[in-house]
Structure 1
Amino acid sequence: MTQRIPSKELIHRAGSERALLSICLNKPEELIVASSNGLLPDMFAVDGHKYIYMAMNYLYSKGEQLDPISILNVYTDDRAKQAIEELGGVDYIEALKTTPVANNTKLFVEHIIQASARREVYETALKVADEAIKAKDKDLSEYLMGVESKFRDITLEYQVSQEVVPIGEGVAERLKQRLLNPQEVIGLKTGWRKFDKLTQGLKAGELTIVGARSKTGKSVTLLNWSRKISVEDKVPALYIDTEMFTEEQQDRLLAMLSRVPEVEIKNGMFGRDTINGKARDKIARLQEASRMLKEAPFYHVYLPHFTPEKIVALARKYQVEYGIGLLVFDYIKLPSSGGYVGEKEYQALGYLTSTLKDIAGTLQIPVVSAVQLNRGAVKAEEIDESMIAGSDRILQLANRVCFLRWKTEEERALSAGNQRFKIAFQRGGASNLDEIDIDFKTEILLQEEVS
């Protein structure tokens, strides 16, 4: 087999490395400029240059002179000394110091960092190619996720800015833009006016969790919000569903949009005159609802055998291909595939929640999900975090945790609506707020905020 040429011989900016060292030997303070622009010793392609750079930084930190003898004497390690000697030792460092070079520290640093990034991409590509041959028995989603992760790590390493800026930089311009374009709600609007005002909408990077008992309507809440955001406001959204087929959710959305009962949509009775209206009117409303759904940038996938890796892969795919501005995951639970053997339930749920939070941050989109409350929430008028499985981790990661419950008979008599929705915990906003009255029209799956 042909021996591979080392990446440092194929990809380098040795000339820029020499130029940078020359500048720093004559102007030691430029070492600070190089460092503050993200240059690390391991980014040098020439080992001798790396060790000279490290020695110069060490001497400068001690307030000592950067002369050739002192640079060599920094090292007791034979490998470092040999790497410098192979370049010419003291004579080479003297030549660097006397070589006239334009003071373009930032430019040379950019050259060195860019070459280092290209080497990492090259080396990673070789590893991926080798793995492609060997990974014949690996799960496809897991394999592709691993490949993507390797290259994403390089992107994050080289693109995440660590530049220190004055705290007041850009503030005046940002305030001016906000003054010229005021918005009552800065995030995506759910259609629940009070909720949107209290939360400022669903914002990029945030994870919102809705907790409720079974058959209370937590999935309906997620779908109602999605309808408003994606079908009505045309924001591209991906809905990952662990329980309901696409056809079932289509019928639910048609009922919400047309206000024709879901049961009539399913059994075809919308084509007959019934107590719910004239056939002609119902058909017309359903045709309009169908048109809205067809034109909506709303993507649904039924994924009962989910894994965190599959969720991440789908989210990234649909953001790249369709620019999704919202991810809905319905809902946080242990997968039926049994992929968490050996883990405690709260650990598995915490890991899944962490995945959703990471997606929100990495893709800079709002993520919404739901969680089922335990039996302690049955008929409870006051719901708290102890009723959530894996509550500690979920509370730690989520930007917002909300609870949905049915009203008691007494509460229904005193105020409008049949449900109550509460923002229990909220990062960057008020928490434990008064409950919001919700009217859940079960026959058309529509939840509306009522005053």
Structure 2
Amino acid sequence: MRTALYDKEAESGIVATLVHHPEFIMQSDHLKPNHFYNKENGCIYWAIQELYKKGIDKIDAFNIESMINTNQAVKRMTEKFNVKDMQEFIELSSTISRSSSSEYNMLVNKVMEFAFKRELHGLLSKLSGECYNDEIDLEQLNNKVYKSIGDITEKFLATNSVEIFGDKIGELWDEVLQRRTDNGMFGLPSKFPTINNYFTYETTELVLLKARMKMGKSCFMMNEAIHKLRMGIPTVYFDTEMADRLFLERMIANISGVELKKVKSGLYNEEESAKIEEAKSWIQGQPFVHIYNPQFTNEEIYAICNILKYKIGLQFVIFDYMKGNTLDSSALYNELGGRCDFLKNEVAGVLELAVLAACQLNRQNQVADSDKLERYASVSMSWRNKTSDEIIMDGEECGNYRLNISLNRLGEQMDDSEYIDFVFDGSKMRIDETEKQHATAIEPF
């Protein structure tokens, strides 16, 4: 059983290699001096790093000692740990030096691994003490655990050595090929065919749906969720408004085609009853999770998604919807921007998931400080009902709702005057793209 969490040979091998190949340090900028268990090695590593930054690539005893002497804290540390004569170290370094960058990186990974284990061990010891704290409840402890572990994970695992882009071409192109399908589609397609001409729900990307209150944005996202489940795509739906029972009633109405008021009241016939039972049975067999909480924390969202990746193979995340907890407009803008940043970079980016989120438009049809949200979103869509004049102009067969793709970093973007036609049947919670789309007005010469 290991009693010390460090690898003496790996630490010595790193600094010995840098004496002969100081340029390798450019591949390990994520390795810090405090990651070394042996403080002597950490100080020498720091000195070589500083020398190389200054353009000095002659690593000898004189230069190392001179650099160490420029920093009193480092100098005291080397004296405390009894650093050997630098010339002797230089002479011995050639016997354990590595000659290739791949060998050097293996040593770096080993030192990082043990630094991570030491810090994790210390954190878990600290968190175990919180278990005896009567003033902290389950939710607080849970959030603290996931945030603390998440911080360490980000600190150690989110850093990568710098690679020449050309060295990654083969791997990246393989990824491009794997994403292709026989029908030319990539990513997760939308339920609505025309949307797929503009974008699909891709991993690491965030799609934002904007709408005024009570305009059916939740129904839009539920329709997308059911569509993904029909494709066999594991999905989670974070809901800040509807509890499980309300969501189930709407889901059953959508799938069965039985009106929502009948599902709620029980006033349906035998044929409709059979359709409802069939819908319930189908839902039970799906890799789907619906979670209601008016005040989700980022830590909860991340932890749930991370768990579901392993539990059900999660691929698609819906968050309904982004809202703030303050009346102060400036603080609200920052809060919404922070949540959008989190969904894009942490949930979509780090966990490699496709994310669809909604936010509410104000009376001016704007989203708080929209720049703070759309700076992170890959796609931004505006969803609303048509006016009476628009229905007459487009024709009733072109539906009662419209969608404009106002921002699209994944493909073609629409003009403000362009939109896709939809029919929204609120009685059955169904949204469908109309077969006939409105005619585009032709500008006169």
The match for 1:276 is none
Structure 1 residue 34, shift from structure 2 partner = 4.5
Structure 1 residue 58, shift from structure 2 partner = 4.4
The match for 1:354 is 341
Query: Which shifted more, 81-90 or 402-411?
Result: 81-90
CA shift in 2, pair 1:139/1:111, >3 Å: same
Structure 1 residue 342, shift from structure 2 partner = 10
Query: Secondary structure of the residue that 1:234 maps to in structure 2?
Result: coil
**Residue type of the alignment partner of 2:47:** A
**Residue type of the alignment partner of 2:84:** G
- TM-score, scaled relative to structure 2: 0.83
Structure 1 residue 155, shift from structure 2 partner = 2.6
**Residue type of the alignment partner of 1:431:** Q
User: C-alpha separation between the residues in 2 aligned to 1:221 and 1:408?
Assistant: 19
The match for 1:442 is 426
CA shift in 2, pair 1:250/1:24, >3 Å: closer
Q: Which runs of 5+ in 1 are unaligned?
A: 1-6, 272-278, 378-386
User: C-alpha separation between the residues in 1 aligned to 2:112 and 2:172?
Assistant: 33
* Residue 257 of structure 1, aligned match among 244, 255, 258: 255
How many residues are matched?
418
The match for 2:439 is none
User: C-alpha separation between the residues in 1 aligned to 2:96 and 2:338?
Assistant: 56
CA shift in 2, pair 1:444/1:97, >3 Å: closer
Contact 1:203–1:365 (Cα < 8 Å) also in 2:
yes
- Equivalence map 1:33-432=2 (5 Å): 33-37=24-28, 38-59=30-51, 62-63=55-56, 65-76=58-69, 77=71, 80-81=74-75, 83-84=77-78, 86-90=82-86, 92-94=88-90, 96-97=92-93, 99=95, 103=99, 104-134=103-133, 136-160=134-158, 161-167=160-166, 169-170=169-170, 173-174=173-174, 177=177, 181-199=181-199, 201-230=200-229, 232-271=230-269, 279-280=270-271, 282-335=272-325, 344-357=331-344, 358-377=346-365, 387-413=366-392, 414-415=394-395, 416-432=398-414
Query: Secondary structure of the residue that 2:46 maps to in structure 1?
Result: helix
CA shift in 2, pair 1:93/1:346, >3 Å: same
Query: Secondary structure of the residue that 2:165 maps to in structure 1?
Result: coil
Cα deviation 1:243-279 (Å, max 9, x = unaligned):
22212211211111111111111212212xxxxxxx3
Q: Which runs of 5+ in 2 are unaligned?
A: 437-445
User: C-alpha separation between the residues in 1 aligned to 2:339 and 2:13?
Assistant: 49
User: C-alpha separation between the residues in 1 aligned to 2:175 and 2:329?
Assistant: 52
CA shift in 2, pair 1:20/1:441, >3 Å: closer
User: C-alpha separation between the residues in 2 aligned to 1:334 and 1:179?
Assistant: 36
**Residue type of the alignment partner of 2:282:** M
**Residue type of the alignment partner of 1:375:** R
**Residue type of the alignment partner of 2:363:** R
Query: Which shifted more, 113-122 or 250-259?
Result: 113-122
Contact 1:185–1:197 (Cα < 8 Å) also in 2:
no
User: C-alpha separation between the residues in 2 aligned to 1:360 and 1:354?
Assistant: 10
CA RMSD of aligned residues (A): 3.0
**Residue type of the alignment partner of 1:193:** P
User: C-alpha separation between the residues in 2 aligned to 1:188 and 1:64?
Assistant: 50
User: C-alpha separation between the residues in 2 aligned to 1:234 and 1:192?
Assistant: 17
CA shift in 2, pair 1:253/1:165, >3 Å: same
| Residue 31 of structure 1 pairs with residue 22 of structure 2 | yes
Query: Which shifted more, 237-246 or 52-61?
Result: 52-61
Structure 1 residue 222, shift from structure 2 partner = 0.8
Cα deviation 1:58-89 (Å, max 9, x = unaligned):
45554464333443233324554455461432
- TM-score, scaled relative to structure 1: 0.82
Query: Secondary structure of the residue that 1:324 maps to in structure 2?
Result: coil
Structure 1 residue 226, shift from structure 2 partner = 0.7
Contact 1:12–1:116 (Cα < 8 Å) also in 2:
yes
User: C-alpha separation between the residues in 2 aligned to 1:41 and 1:246?
Assistant: 51
Query: Secondary structure of the residue that 1:137 maps to in structure 2?
Result: coil
User: C-alpha separation between the residues in 2 aligned to 1:295 and 1:242?
Assistant: 24
User: C-alpha separation between the residues in 1 aligned to 2:374 and 2:273?
Assistant: 45
**Residue type of the alignment partner of 1:225:** E
In percent, how many aligned pairs have the same letter? 24
User: C-alpha separation between the residues in 1 aligned to 2:94 and 2:307?
Assistant: 53
Contact 1:189–1:228 (Cα < 8 Å) also in 2:
no
Structure 1 residue 406, shift from structure 2 partner = 1.4
Structure 1 residue 374, shift from structure 2 partner = 1.8
User: C-alpha separation between the residues in 1 aligned to 2:313 and 2:268?
Assistant: 36
